[in-house]
Amino acid sequence: MTGPLHAVVRPPGSKSITNRALVCAALAAGTSELRGALFADDTEAMIGVLTALGIEVSADPFAGSLRVAGCAGEVPASAAEIDTRQSGTTSRFTLPLLALGSGSYRVTAHPQMQARPMGTTFDALAEMGVGIEALGSDGHLPATVTSGRARTAVLRIAGDASSQFLSGLLMIGPCLPDGLVIELTTDLVSRPYVELTIAVMASFGAVVEQPDERTFAVAPGGYVATGYEVEPDASAASYPLAAAALCGGSVTVEGLGSSALQGDAAFADVLGLMGADVHRTGHATTVTATRGALLGGTFDFTHISDTAQTLAVLAPFAEGPVTITGIGFIRRKEIDRVAAVATELRRAGTDVHEDPDGWTIHPGPVAPATFETYDDHRMAMSFALLGLRVPGIAISGPGCVAKTFPGYWAMLDGLRPADDGR
């Protein structure tokens, strides 16, 4: 890379919003249209689940729109074979959804997803009178779900494993006769994702009250079909914004501004703390930076954990050590992300201390390397940024980005300045 960046990009639609909106639209009375939706492996997994359950979804990928004929809170199919593939949101949203059916359903997933915990949802559904039987390891997929429609309950669940468990349960609340109350027994990680869930639910007419930080009360009444605009993915936006901090220059992300719903939009504020200039309008965020002027520091990523790997690859170029805390729970994501990042940074000669809840990364030269992705899309997308600054960088298994950002490599190539001769 020979010059500063000057680019304007628009990431694809938010995976988190698309899958939440799909569930709410599927449970609504009437037909909804989702505009700006993401078309990627994770959202296709959710669409596949809804279709298998007898809910009609028509897609127009070129227009970025989905039409969903809602089931008014009652799952049509009385039996189904369901594959949630590699998608955590799909898996953790699907099992509660099945509680609104009457029948028997078999749910399986990609081996990587089968290794991820599901026990919180299993236990909650059992408390609601739903039959659930793991077909392999306890608390993991595959599983059989047998439901005669869930009964209303006051659920007590842990919030420190994944916010997806809470989100999945919240979304069925409006369809229960008396609503649903959920009390957390621990602090909640990734709280912005739960706030996002509640915001999407509200757009479809649902009401969730929070009398305190650990209690969520969902009112009955169902969902109403609507037209819904999906904003660009804030986690995906972290990569082009980080590129500006890494290489210098300016990158603007369209569609994500001061009104963004997603918590990961706060990643830009971390770049601001490290010395970059961050400017937001109502509908865009611009990061402008001087190459070689990143500051070190300690940053708590408890609530923006999907962008932790992005910051980790910037850390070797900072003026002082970078400590990222609050992310011990990402050891239970697609892979152990804490261990994987430490391993791959060391592959390039970076001094990394692996902490129980994150890393301390020391500045220093980054050597050419071929990085392993472990079939984790965020490993591929974050470590690829190093190729904008360091020659000789390669990514093993680049196709895994299709999980959430099929056009990632074209976007990354588009960041190169006009005078870059490579």
Separation CA 242–CA 359 (nearest Å): 18
Q: Mark whether 306 is an active-site residue.
A: yes
Res 421 pLDDT > 70: no
Phi, psi for residue 343 in degrees, rounded to 5: -60, -45
Question: What is the reported pLDDT for 153?
Answer: 75
Question: What is the reported pLDDT for 2?
Answer: 54
Question: What is the reported pLDDT for 151?
Answer: 80
- Percent of the chain at pLDDT exceeding 90: 95
| Domains of the chain with CATH codes | 15-215 (3.65.10.10), 231-414 (3.65.10.10)
Phi, psi for residue 184 in degrees, rounded to 5: -85, 140
Phi, psi for residue 193 in degrees, rounded to 5: -70, -35
Angle at 221 between CA 216 and CA 225, to 5 degrees: 105
Q: State how beta strands 154-157 and 131-134 pair.
A: unpaired
Phi, psi for residue 385 in degrees, rounded to 5: -60, -30
Q: Is 4 exposed, middle or buried (0-12, 13-18, 19+ CB in 10 A)?
A: middle
Residue type, 96: P
**Tens of pLDDT along 267-282?**
999 999 999 999 999 9
Q: Which of 41, 42, 264, 306 is catalytic?
A: 306
Q: DSSP 3-state assignment of 331?
A: helix
Q: DSSP 3-state assignment of 285?
A: strand
Enter the DSSP assignment of 13. Answer: B
Separation CA 401–CA 257 (nearest Å): 24
Give me the chain's average pLDDT, please.
95
Tell me the average pLDDT across 56-66. Answer: 94
**Tens of pLDDT along 163-189?**
999 999 999 999 999 999 999 999 999
Separation CA 266–CA 258 (nearest Å): 10
Phi, psi for residue 64 in degrees, rounded to 5: 70, 35
Q: Is 223 exposed, middle or buried (0-12, 13-18, 19+ CB in 10 A)?
A: buried
Separation CA 295–CA 132 (nearest Å): 50
Which runs of E-coded beta strand occur in 128-262?
131-134, 143-148, 154-157, 180-184, 208-212, 215-218, 223-224, 227-229, 249-254
The answer to whether 372 touches 396, Cβ cutoff 8 Å, is: yes
**Tens of pLDDT along 207-235?**
999 999 999 999 999 999 999 999 999 99
Tell me the average pLDDT across 355-378. Answer: 97
Reported as a pLDDT band with limits 50, 70 and 90, residue 161 is confident
Question: How many C-beta atoms surround the C-beta of residue 50 within 10 A?
Answer: 25
* Phi-psi label, residue 310: left if phi above 0, alpha if psi -120 to 50, beta otherwise: alpha
